[in-house]
A and B are shown apart, each in its own frame.
Chain A
Amino acid sequence: MSDHTLPYTAAAVGSPSHTPKQQGRIAAIADAWLPRLVLSPTIILSLVFVYGFIAVTAWLSLTNSRMLPNYEISGFNQYVELFALDRWWVAAANLGIFGGLFILFCLAIGLVMAILLDQKIRAEGALRAIYLYPMALSFIVTGAAWKWILNPGLGLEKMMHDWGFANFHFDWLVNSDFSIYTVVIAGVWQSSGFVMALFLAGLRGIDDSIIKAAMVDGASLPTIYRRIVIPALRPVFFSVLLVLAHIAIKSFDLVMALTAGGPGTSSDLPAIFMYQFSFSRGQLGLGAASAMMMLATVLAVLVPMMYLETKGARNGR
């Protein structure tokens, strides 16, 4: 892209030094405090609305809150009850299946499409728009369409039968063993285009001269991708993982619109579990306990990732 010529790694090596030269004392003091001041509303908001609310949830998970919050501590019985519930383990296992496959397929499809699109494709703009548009739709919108397409009696299967392929069989949506995979199909459909855009952007940012040099040395295209291009995309992988993990863990509308957790509870996810128990079933304490388990999972994934990333950035990669 033409408007961008800045080298992208050099500046990432930040140092906290900013030594004002000949400035007025007041200006110097202002400059020392302004950054903190600018950041402080965000910090306060985050303390209250993220950490404060997590604390409230943690507290509620230790109470016997039913329909509305009740702040009397009663111990860890909600966690005991949670771990004894089959449904919770189904939801947790589903998050593993869904999250894993969703992230894997989005990465794979996104990366492959980005590499293909990066081959000086003629209608690139149009194709890019087509890949990207699902991200613009909410699942309240597309859930209805997918539900219809995947329903054996109405959609794909019926269509194939109408066309004479009587043996065509695709009933995942109504099959307890496979319903969670339909959620993966729809989820990948919605998010992989966005991943493609991120990777494409990453590819465009790679310094041509390194690749040219490798080609002069006689490296083949696959080798160049494997050895140079994909490793250079490392920071992009980080951003992509962050976005995808965030979508996977929060997935709610997606499942509600597609299967509502069914058949039975076979495609249940923790976010749905939490919502139902907290609100429609009047077991707020249990819902809070499940939310804490979700948060613990997030932290277990996020903290090492952030640590590696900021460390990587400091070492200048």
Chain B
Amino acid sequence: MKLSQIIKSVFATTALLSSAAAVHAAEVEVLHYWTSGGEAKSVAELKKIMEAKGVTWKDFAVAGGAGENATTALKARVIAGSPPTAAQIKGPSIQEWGQEGVLANIDAAAIPGKWDSLLPKVVSNTMKYQGHYVAAPVNVHRVNWLWINPEVLKKSGAKAPTSWPEFFDAADKMQKAGFIAIAHGGQPWQDATVFETVALGVGGADFYNKALVKLDPATLTGPTMIKTFDTLGKIKGYIDKNAAGRDWNLATAMVINGKAGMQFMGDWAKGEFTAAGKLPGKDFLCVPAPGTDKSYTYNIDSIAMFKVKDPEQQKAQLTLATAIMSPEFQEIFNLNKGSIPVRSDVSRAKFDSCATKSMDDMASSNKAGTLEPSMAHGMAVNSAVQGAILDVVSKFMNSNMTSQAAVQALAKAAKTQ
């Protein structure tokens, strides 16, 4: 008799027994990459809400690489035929998973919850696959913010910039006064965050949409894109040399403690400021990045639901979806994370001025048609194209690549299948 055969069958039996025992309780297993600080605290609220409703929360947190490890783990689980109840997936990826036929229809929670009328159209469309809800939205982040330390601004005699000339003027003054003008972390997604914000500021929402959402080849290689890269190249000169590999929150810390003047970053940066006891308007400023005050790039986090067989678990899944959309959770989660609720009927009382500005701007840009999905955060294009664009941008940021070469490489990247 083969030893390994025996071992295998013994293992198989124990595994069956243990999984059989686990099926009975109503529980949700949630795969996510919110592992630290404010994020973890926010998800813990969701866990509390679920447990109050008698559903056990099995935490499947996988940190690292902006969800890279989490994605790998998720694929392995789906292929093994045992997907988690729910997983943190966003943007076009929801559609990709939908096409694989593994997502669960949660209309049973969405229709009584009136999600259609509560959610802005851009949000609800992302959450649906073939007309049915398969995911529940958690928050809306605005990406095109510029964070400024007013102290640094005052000491260097500059003022908060609203256009690119003003921006570089302020940056020059800060540098002369001995500050690092722009706090940045040299990681591909951070490079891309700055890049898309510059593109939006230089070319406007229409240009942004044509280039980075529709991937129009002519726009990608056109003069506006060259100007975008020129501007980006200029920004490079104001970043300190140690930026490579720096985490974004360490860059934010440089703005907080007055080492650096400004940072391009989404509103999750606000969580850092508030955690350090800083007040918006007084200790730090949040302004739309130069030239982007009329437009809005969004990044929506969401939890997608996977098909599960056990009816108890299906019920728990709907409970989870309802809990995520509940005003209580939306309020507490977004207060912690710096973002804004996905539904507009949540009380604004506890939100600060940055958040309320974000809410107003979202509503107005939605009307004006300048509400755009963030490319850097996987809301605009599929992951293959996004990755290829990130490669080009981070190469541009870390070498002597010319703007001409960059736009050619960008057009090539956009053709990635």
Chains A and B in contact, CB within 8 Å: yes
Residues of A within 8 A of B (CB): 37, 40-42, 45, 64, 66-69, 81, 86-87, 147, 151-153, 171, 173-176, 179, 256, 259-260, 262-266, 275-277, 279-283
In chain B, residues 234-273, which have Cβ atoms closer than 8 Å to a Cβ of chain A? 240-245
**Option from A151, A264, A275, A277 in Cβ contact (under 8 Å) with B397:** A264
Q: Which residues from chain B contact A171 at a C-beta distance below 8 Å?
A: 241-242
Q: Which residues from chain A contact B187 at a C-beta distance below 8 Å?
A: 260, 262
Which residue on chain A has the smallest CB distance to residue B6? Answer: A41
Q: How far is the CA of A2 from the CA of B67 in the complex (A)?
A: 54
How far does the Cβ of B218 sit from chain A's closest Cβ, in whole Å? 22
Q: Which residues from chain A contact B386 at a C-beta distance below 8 Å?
A: 281
Mask of B370-409 contacts with A, CB within 8 angstroms, 1/0: 0000000000001110110001001101110000000000
B72 at the interface (CB under 8 A from A): yes
Q: Which residues from chain A contact B75 at a C-beta distance below 8 Å?
A: 67-68, 279
How far does the Cβ of A84 sit from chain B's closest Cβ, in whole Å? 9
Do B100 and A262 touch across chains, with their CB atoms under 8 A apart? Answer: no
Q: Which residues from chain B contact A86 at a C-beta distance below 8 Å?
A: 395
Q: How far is the CA of A160 from the CA of B399 in the complex (A)?
A: 28
Q: Which residues from chain A contact B71 at a C-beta distance below 8 Å?
A: 279-280
B4 at the interface (CB under 8 A from A): yes
Q: Which residues from chain A contact B68 at a C-beta distance below 8 Å?
A: 275-276, 279-280
In the complex, the number of residue pairs spanning A and B with C-beta atoms less than 8 Å apart equals: 103
Do A64 and B417 touch across chains, with their CB atoms under 8 A apart? Answer: yes
Q: How far is the CA of A280 from the CA of B74 in the complex (A)?
A: 11
Q: Which residues from chain B contact A37 at a C-beta distance below 8 Å?
A: 2
**Option from B96, B242, B397 in Cβ contact (under 8 Å) with A282:** B96
Residues of B within 8 A of A (CB): 2-5, 64-65, 67-68, 71-72, 75, 78-79, 96-97, 100, 186-188, 240-245, 382-384, 386-387, 391, 394-395, 397-399, 416-417
Given the known inter-chain contacts A173-B244, A276-B68, please indicate yes or no for A262 contacting B96, CB distance below 8 A: no
Q: How far is the CA of A259 from the CA of B246 in the complex (A)?
A: 10
Q: How far is the CA of A202 from the CA of B394 in the complex (A)?
A: 47
How far does the Cβ of B111 sit from chain A's closest Cβ, in whole Å? 29
Given the known inter-chain contacts A67-B100, A152-B242, please indicate yes or no for A260 contacting B398, CB distance below 8 A: no
How far does the Cβ of B304 sit from chain A's closest Cβ, in whole Å? 13
Q: Which residues from chain B contact A174 at a C-beta distance below 8 Å?
A: 186, 241-245
Do B2 and A41 touch across chains, with their CB atoms under 8 A apart? Answer: yes
Q: Which residues from chain B contact A153 at a C-beta distance below 8 Å?
A: 240, 242
Q: How far is the CA of A188 from the CA of B310 in the complex (A)?
A: 51
How far does the Cβ of A204 sit from chain B's closest Cβ, in whole Å? 34
How far does the Cβ of B92 sit from chain A's closest Cβ, in whole Å? 10
Q: Which residues from chain A contact B186 at a C-beta distance below 8 Å?
A: 174, 262-264
Q: Which residues from chain A contact B245 at a C-beta distance below 8 Å?
A: 147, 151, 173-174, 259-260, 262-263
Q: Which residues from chain A contact B398 at a C-beta distance below 8 Å?
A: 176, 262-264, 266
Q: Which residues from chain A contact B79 at a C-beta distance below 8 Å?
A: 68-69
How far does the Cβ of B174 sit from chain A's closest Cβ, in whole Å? 18
Q: How far is the CA of A157 from the CA of B175 in the complex (A)?
A: 22
Q: Which residues from chain A contact B384 at a C-beta distance below 8 Å?
A: 66, 281-283
**Option from A64, A260, A264, A277 in Cβ contact (under 8 Å) with B399:** A264
How far does the Cβ of B351 sit from chain A's closest Cβ, in whole Å? 33
